[in-house]
Amino acid sequence: METKQAENTTQPQEIPKLTALVLEKFPGRVTARHTCLGDETITIPREGMLEVFAFLRDDKHCRFNLMVDLTAVDYLGLRETRFELVVHLKSLALGHRLRVKIPVPAEDPSVDSLINLWGAVDWYERECFDMYGLIFKNHPNLKRLILYDSFVGHPLRKDYPIHLQQPRVTLRPVRERYDYMCRVMKDPSETEQPPL
């Protein structure tokens, strides 16, 4: 896997086009970068991220007029900065793509909303808030997109208990099958849990 990655990644000394543009405009702002199969990725700090995104959208060499995807990753226990916001951009005019990553610490999981740059991020940011609990500052309607309002917590966070369910109606007891499942699965942590 690593050798393959090395083949597909350009050598560190040659800076690809889009990364070079950002580096030229915002020196020292790109904290990490790589290129894979011709697509560039840059990591920028969340302070001043809106300037960078505005530049990417409006600069005549970038012209990223399409926000393709916005999501997050939870690196609990793997990295020092727990969350990472990932934004995929595409330029329909120039045909190139860019992936921008923004590390977000766990103690203050807030980032600036991109709603004033790309209107399409509205529901993406709401989903991201729903699943990961990232707070998007200045989002006009930051409430849960998919889950119900009575849900507590954010299920795609790595510390959300994997089998914890939050039913909205009282569930009927089906104890026999639950016991059977516990026996079959032979998972000691399961037997301690009350039936859902």
Q: Which residues bind another protein (CB under 8 A)?
A: 146-148, 155, 160, 162-169, 171-172, 174, 177, 196
Decide whether 12 or 173 has the Cβ nearer to another protein. 173
> Which of 37/169 has CB closer to another protein?
169
The distance of closest approach from Cβ of residue 172 to another protein in the complex, given in angstroms and rounded to an integer, is: 5
| 13 or 150: CB nearest another protein | 150
Nearer to another protein by C-beta: 60 or 163? 163
Residue 167 CB, nearest distance to another protein (Å)? 5
For residues 38 and 187, give the distance between their C-alpha atoms in angstroms, rounded to a whole number. 45
State how far the alpha carbon of 177 is from the alpha carbons of 7, 65, 118, 126, in Å. Answer: 52, 53, 49, 37
83, 75 contact by CB (below 8 A)? yes
What's the closest the beta carbon of residue 192 comes to another protein, in angstroms? 16
Nearest distance, CB of residue 159 and another protein, angstroms: 13
With respect to another protein, which residue has the nearer C-beta, 32 or 171?
Answer: 171
We find the least distance from the C-beta atom of residue 165 to another protein, in angstroms, to be 6
Question: One-letter amino acid identity for 146?
Answer: I
